[in-house]
Amino acid sequence: MSAGQFAVFGHPISHSLSPQIHQAFAHQFGLELEYRTIDAAPDAFNAAVHQFFAEGGRGANVTLPHKAAAFALAHERSEAASRAGSANVLTALPDGRLAAHNTDGDGMVRDITERHEVDLRGHTALLLGAGGAAHGAAWALLDAGVETLTIVNRTPETADALADAIGDPARAHTRYWEDLADLGAFDLIVNATSAGVLGASLDLPFAIVGNRALCYDLSYGEAATGFLAWARTAGARYAFDGLGMLVETAADAFELWHGQRPDTDPVYAQLRQQYG
C-alpha cells in the first residue's frame, strides 16, 4: 500500500539517516513510501517547502538550520512547537495548510529514560546552546523533572531569551559561557550546539562533570565524537550521542503521519551496529 511522499529538509542534508529510518518503519507495516532528502539553503527553504507540499507531499522532517523557519511558516502549531518556537515536523492538513510539531524534546527524554534507563528527576542540568535544538530540549528536561536547568550560549542574549520564555527563574536560568569553569559540577550536560556539525571544538572544562554525570549530545555519529570523547575523559558515568533521539523523534513523526507507532528498538539496534 502506498503511503505517499515524505522528505527531510536541511542544509546540508546528504548525511541524513531519516530516509533509512522511515523506510524501516514503513516495512514493519507493509507500507510503501517515497522519502527523500531535500537540501535547501536558508533563503530557499520556504519556497522549497511550499513546492514539496504543492506537489503532493504529505509530511516533512526538518533539521538544521530550518527549525525556526518551519515553525514560522506553519498555519497551526502544536503546544510543544509553540513552547519551543521551532519545529522539526511539518504535516499537510486536509485544507492545504501546514501544521508544525516539535518532537525533539520528547524523543530525547524517551531515549535517555527508557532506552538508557536513566531517571532525570532531581538532576542538575546544564544546557549548552540556545538555538532551535536547545529550545526543543529545554521544556522536555523540565517536564522530566530536572531540578535546575542552567543555559549557557556563546551569544548570551539568545540564552536569556530562552530562559525568559520558560519563565521559571527558580529552575531555569542563564550563565555566561566564559564562567563555565566556575559553575560547579552538573548531573546532566546536554550539548545542543552545532559545534560538532561544524567541526569546531567547544573547549569545555572538566570541572562541570559531576561524579554521576550523564553527557548527551543531540548530534550523532562523527558530529558527536568530540563531545563524547571529552565526556569520557572527564569521567562522566554515561556518554551518549543522539542516535536514539533521532530514531524516537522519527517514530513520533511516523505516528503523526500514518497513525501507527513503529517499534524503534530494532531500528536503533541496526543503526548502532552500522554506525557505532
Q: For the chain, which domains are there?
A: 2-102+247-275 (3.40.50.10860), 105-241 (3.40.50.720)
Q: Which residue of the set 66, 67, 110, 135 is catalytic?
A: 67
Q: Provide the b/e sequence for 101-128 (b: ≥16 CB within 10 Å).
A: bbbbbbbbbbbbeebeebebeebbbbbb
Instruction: Determine whether 119 is an active site residue.
Output: no
The pLDDT of residue 246? 96
**pLDDT reading at 1 higher than 60:** no
Query: Chain-wide mean pLDDT for the chain?
Result: 95
**pLDDT reading at 19 higher than 90:** yes
Question: For residue 218, what pLDDT band results from cuts at 50, 70 and 90?
Answer: very high
CA distance 178 to 197: 22
Q: What is the pLDDT of residues 60-78, one digit of tens each?
A: 999 989 999 999 999 999 9
Q: What is the pLDDT of residues 195-214, one digit of tens each?
A: 887 788 898 999 999 999 99
Q: What is the pLDDT of residues 113-145, one digit of tens each?
A: 999 999 999 999 999 999 888 998 999 999 999
DSSP state of 208: G
Q: What is the pLDDT of residues 142-163, one digit of tens each?
A: 999 999 999 999 999 999 999 9
CA distance 183 to 131: 21
Q: Which residues pair with 253 in a beta bridge?
A: none
Amino acid in the structure at residue 253: A
The pLDDT of residue 196? 86
**Residue whose C-alpha cell reads 507500507 in the numeric block:** 31
The pLDDT of residue 121? 97
The pLDDT of residue 42? 97
Q: What is the pLDDT of residues 163-174, one digit of tens each?
A: 999 999 999 999
Q: What is the pLDDT of residues 71-105, one digit of tens each?
A: 999 999 999 999 999 999 999 999 999 999 999 99
The pLDDT of residue 2? 59
Q: Is 234 helix (H, G, I), strand (E, B) or coil?
A: coil
C-alpha dist (Å) from residue 272 to 15, 21, 22: 15, 12, 16
CB distance 222 to 200 below 8 Å? no
Neighbours of 211 (CB within 10 A): 9
The pLDDT of residue 117? 97
> How many percent of the chain have pLDDT more than 70?
99
